[in-house]
A and B are shown apart, each in its own frame.
Chain A
Amino acid sequence: MSSLRRHGKLIGFIFLMLLGVVGILQGSVEENMLALIPRALKQQVTLFEHSPLSQKFIVVTQAPSAEQAREKAQEVQQALLQTGFIKPHVQPRGDVLVEVLSALPGLFSSQIQTETEQKISLPVISQQFARYYEDLFSFQSMVTTQRMTRDPFNLTEILLGKWGKIGQGVQALNFTDGFLSNDDGTLVAGLYDATVAVSDIRAAQKMQRFFADFQHTLPQDVRVFFVGGLRYTLENVLLIKRDLMIVTVAGVLCLIGVFACFFRTKRALLVYLLPLLVLPPSAWMTQLIFGHISGITLGFGSVVVGLSVDYAIYIYFALQQSQVVADTVVSKISKHLWCNFLTSGLCFVALLFSSIEVFKQIAVFALVALSLAFFLAVRILPAYFNSQTFVSSSIPMKEVKPLSFRWTICASILLIGFGIWGLTHLSLNSDLNALNSTSETFLQDKQIAEKLFPSDRGALLFALGNSPQEALGNNEQLSSQIPEGLPMSELFVSEKTRLQNLNRWKNFWKPSRVSSAQHTLQSQAQQYGFTVHSFAPFWTWLQNDSEQTGFDFSTWYNPIIKISDTLYAVMNIVPNTPFYARVADGVTSVLISTSALQTALVYSVKQEAMRVVCLALFFNLIAVWLLFRNLKETLLCFVPVLLGGCFLFGCLALFHVQVNLFGLIFLPLLIGLGLDYAIFQLMKYRANQEELARLYPTRALLAAGLSTLAGFGVLALAKHAVLFMMGVCALVGIGGTVLVSLFILPSLWKHRV
C-alpha cells in the first residue's frame, strides 16, 4: 500500500499512457489535403475534391509506336475489366439515341428553338435525307432505320452537339476509339471510373500490384501505369508510413547516442521515459478534439520528444551539480523552467491562430504533451532523482569557452551577411504538389500524364446553391453572362426553366407549323422512295407524348455535386482564361484552376505565416520580459534567434534547399523555440552566486539541444515534403541557435555588463 502511495502519480501517468495507446488504436489516422489548406481556400479545394473528375483514374500507355501503344492500351483495358477494377464503359446504343429525343421538349431553350427551326427548313431536310438514303445502303442501316422513323429531322443531333461541347476548348488532343492520345500516338490514355473509393488504400495497393504484374508481361520499351486519386492515396499513405518508421528508428538511435554521451546512468533513463508517457495521451486528446489525427501531426511527435525531455534534463543536471535535495534544486530553477515552458508553449499557442487544420492539430498535440511533460518533470521525476539509490555528486564543470568580444562581433556580422545573402537567394517552391508526399517515380509518371491532360489549359467553374435546384438556377444565370453559354446549363436545367422550355415547345409546334413541316418532309422523303407513313412514329410522339419527361442526361454524366446538406454545386469545364475568372463572383460561382489556386494558396499561406510569426514573437517577448524585467537582457535573448535565423537562411540558399509553403510558417516558429537555450545561458551568467550558476551546466544545454535535434532533426530524413521541411529547419535553425547561445551570446552579455 505504501508503495502504491509512493508511486501513485507515476502509476497514474502509466495508466493515462495506456489509455492513450488504446484510444489511438481505436481512432483513425487520416491524410487529407484539406488539412493542409488555409480556411480561405477550403471551399475551392473541397469543390475540386468532390468533382466527378477527381473520382476517375487515368491509365497511361507509352510505347515506341502508335499501333503498339493502342494495342497495349486495349489489352490493359480488358485486363482491368476482367479483374473488376473498372466499370464497363456503357456505349450509347441505337435505341438509347432514339430515347435522347424525348429530352428535347424539357431542354427547348430559345437557342435550341432557333436550331430546330433550321433543322426543319427545306435545305437542311434535303441534305438530311440524302444522308439517310446513303445510310440505308450501309451495314449499320439495321440500327439507324429506327432512328430515321422516330427522328426524321435528326433533332437528336442538336442535343448530342451540346453534349459534345462539354469540355471543348480544354482538350487539344486526339480522342479516338475511347482513348486520348498525343500527336504521334505513342502516348495513349484511358479515363476510367474506379469501382472502389479513391481513399481505399487496400484497393490502391491491389491495383498497384496489378500494374506491376501487367508491366512484367510487356516488352521492355512499353510502359503502363496509372495516375489519379487512387495513386495519390497509395503514395501518401505508403510514404507517411515509411517516414514514421524511419523517423522513429532514427530518433531513437540518436537519443541513445545522446544518452551514451551525457547520461550513462539507470536513473537518467527516467528522463527518456518521459516522452513515452506523454505522447500517447497527447495524440489521443488531439484525436478526440479533431475526430481524427493527421499523419503529419504524428510525425511531429518526434519533435515533441525532443522538447519534452528538456525540463527533465535541466533538473537532472542541476541535481548532479548540487548537494541539496531535489525539491530545493527544482524550486531554485523553477523560474527558468517556467519561462522555458512558456516560450515553447507560446509558439504553439500562436500556431493555434492559424486557419490550417494540421497546424492546429500540431499545436494541441504539442501543448498537451509539453504540459504533461512539464508536470512530470517538475512534480514527479525529482522524487526519483532524490532517492537514496541516486547519489548526487558534484561533477567538475566542463565549460565551453565562448568567443572573445571581437570575434563575436565578426561572427555576428558574417552571420547577418550570410543571412541577407541567403534571403535574396532563397528558392521558394509554391507548387501545390510540393505538399503531397509522392515518390520520384510518381512525379515522372505524372509529368508524362500531364502531356495528355495539360492542367493549365482547363478550369472548373462551379455554380453554387443551397439545393440542387438553386445550383442549377445559378448555373443558368452564369451561362447567360457568357456569350457562347455553358453547355451544362443547356442539358441540365432547373425545374423552373424546364417548365418554361415545355411551354416554348408547345407554342413552337402549332398546328400550322406541324402541317408545314409534314408537307416539307413528305416532299423530300418521296424523292428517295420513302412511304407516306414512314415517319408516323415521330408525329404520333409529337402529338401525344412529347411533353412527358423521358431521357435524362444525368444517366450519362451527373454534374451536380453534393458538398454538404446545404451546399450543392454544378460543375462546368471551361477554358482557363481571364474571362471566366471575371465571370465567377466567388459567392454563387467559383472558378478553380491550378494556377489560380496556386496563387491564392501562396498569398494565403504568406498571410498565415506573417500572423503566426508576429504572434509567436509578441508572446515570447512578453514571456522573456516577465522573466528578466530588463530590456537589454530581453533583447539579448533574441540574438540567437536572429543569428540562428540568418544561419538557416544562408544554409538553405547555399545547399539549394527548396523551401515549400509550410517552411514559411515553421521557419520562424522553430527558431522561436530556440529562445530556450538563450534563456538558459542568460540565467547562468546573470546568477550572482556560484552555487546557482552551477545549476546551469553547459552539458545540460548540450544534452537538451542535441535531444531536440535528435527528435526534430531526424524529420529531415522524411520524404514527405512538409515533414522534411520541418526537419531541415530544425536541424539547421535550432543547431545554429544552440551554437550562437554557446559561443556568441556570453560575450555579448558580458560586454553589456
Chain B
Amino acid sequence: MKYCLSLLLCLLLTLSWAQKEDVVLQNYAKQISTVQTLQSSFVEEKHLSLLSQPLQSTGTLAFDKSKQKLRWQYQKPFENGFLIEKEKVYRLQGLTKKPVDSAMGRLFMAEMLVWLTLDFDSLQKNYSITVTGSEITFVPYHKEHKVVKKITVWLDSKDPRVVTQVKMEEPSGDFILWKFTNTQLNPSLADEVFQ
C-alpha cells in the first residue's frame, strides 16, 4: 500500500511538473510568435574532432516570416551561405546564387521555419523537449539520428523572443555553437536584403 501511495505521489509530481513545463513553453511560443522579422549577427564555432582547433566564422542572418524569406550569410573567412525564398533554396557562393534541388529545398525551408519560429508543436513530434530557465534542450526521439544528438537553445533572460546561443551536438561528439549578437526584432527589411 505504501509502495502504491509513493508511486501515485511520484506520478502526480511528474504530471504537475510536465504541466508546468508545457505552460512555460506555451508562454515562450506566444511571445516568439509576435516576431515577424528578424536581423542578427552571428559567430559560428565548429568543434570538430578531425581538427586540432575549432573553426570560427562570422556572418549575418535576416528573416521575414510573412514573406517566408531567409538569408544566412557567412562573411568571414569565406563568403558563402544560403537564401530561402518560399519553397526555393539557393546556395550563395561569393556573388553567385545557385538553385538547390526543389524537393531538398522544401524540406530545408520547412525545417528552418520550425526552428526560427521555435514552433514547439512541430518540434515536440521529433524531439523530447526540456526547459531549464531560459535554456531549452531538444533530444531527438530517434536515437540513431545520424546528424543530431542534442540541440540546446538559450533565450535572452530579459526578452525570451531573442535567441542568444544555439549548440548542436553530433553523435560523433563534434558540435557547432552559434552565438547571436545585435539581434533586432521586427525591423523593416528591404527586399534588397534577400537578393
Chain A residues proximal to chain B, CB less than 8 Å:
74, 77, 88-89, 91, 95, 134, 136-139, 141-142, 145, 148-149, 176-178, 529-531, 534
| Complex contact A145–B74 (CB within 8 A) | no
Is B158 on the interface with A (CB-CB < 8 A)?
no
Q: Which 5 A-B pairs have the closest CB atoms?
A: A534-B50, A529-B51, A137-B57, A137-B78, A177-B99
Nearest CB on B from A622, distance (A)? 71
Q: B102's contact among A145, A148, A178, by CB below 8 Å, is which?
A: A178
With known contacts A137-B80, A141-B46, A142-B147, A91–B52 Cβ distance under 8 A: no
B48 contacts which chain A residues (CB < 8 A)? 136, 145
With known contacts A89-B103, A91-B103, A177-B101, A531–B78 Cβ distance under 8 A: no
| Complex contact B52–A529 (CB within 8 A) | yes
| Complex contact A74–B101 (CB within 8 A) | no
Q: B80's contact among A138, A176, A178, A530, by CB below 8 Å, is which?
A: A138
| Complex contact A142–B170 (CB within 8 A) | yes
Beta-carbon contacts under 8 Å, B141-187 to A: 146-147, 170, 174, 176
With known contacts A95-B146, A145-B48, A137–B55 Cβ distance under 8 A: yes
Complex: chain A residue closest to B104, CB-CB: A91
A178 to B72, CA, bound (A): 24
Chain B residues proximal to chain A, CB less than 8 Å:
46, 48-53, 55, 57, 72, 74, 77-78, 80-82, 87, 99-104, 146-147, 170, 174, 176
| Complex contact B101–A178 (CB within 8 A) | yes
| Complex contact A74–B102 (CB within 8 A) | yes
| Complex contact A145–B77 (CB within 8 A) | no
| Complex contact B102–A177 (CB within 8 A) | yes
Q: B74's contact among A95, A138, A178, by CB below 8 Å, is which?
A: A138
Complex: chain B residue closest to A177, CB-CB: B99
B104 contacts which chain A residues (CB < 8 A)? 91
| Complex contact B74–A529 (CB within 8 A) | no
| Complex contact A145–B50 (CB within 8 A) | yes
A137 to B176, CA, bound (A): 11
| Complex contact A137–B50 (CB within 8 A) | no
A134 to B52, CA, bound (A): 16
A531 contacts which chain B residues (CB < 8 A)? 49-52
Complex: chain A residue closest to B148, CB-CB: A142
A138 to B94, CA, bound (A): 12
A138 contacts which chain B residues (CB < 8 A)? 74, 78, 80-81
Complex: chain A residue closest to B170, CB-CB: A142
Most chain B CB neighbours (cut-off 10 Å) among A91, A142, A148, A178: A142
Nearest CB on A from B195, distance (A)? 15
Nearest CB on A from B103, distance (A)? 7
A139 to B72, CA, bound (A): 9
A531 to B173, CA, bound (A): 15
With known contacts A531-B51, A531-B52, A137–B77 Cβ distance under 8 A: yes
Nearest CB on B from A525, distance (A)? 9
B170 contacts which chain A residues (CB < 8 A)? 142
A89 contacts which chain B residues (CB < 8 A)? 103
Nearest CB on A from B186, distance (A)? 25
A148 to B81, CA, bound (A): 20
| Complex contact B99–A149 (CB within 8 A) | no
| Complex contact A145–B174 (CB within 8 A) | yes
A120 to B100, CA, bound (A): 31
What are 5 A-B pairs at a CB distance below 8 A?
A89-B103, A137-B78, A529-B52, A529-B53, A531-B52
B74 contacts which chain A residues (CB < 8 A)? 137-139
Nearest CB on B from A193, distance (A)? 16
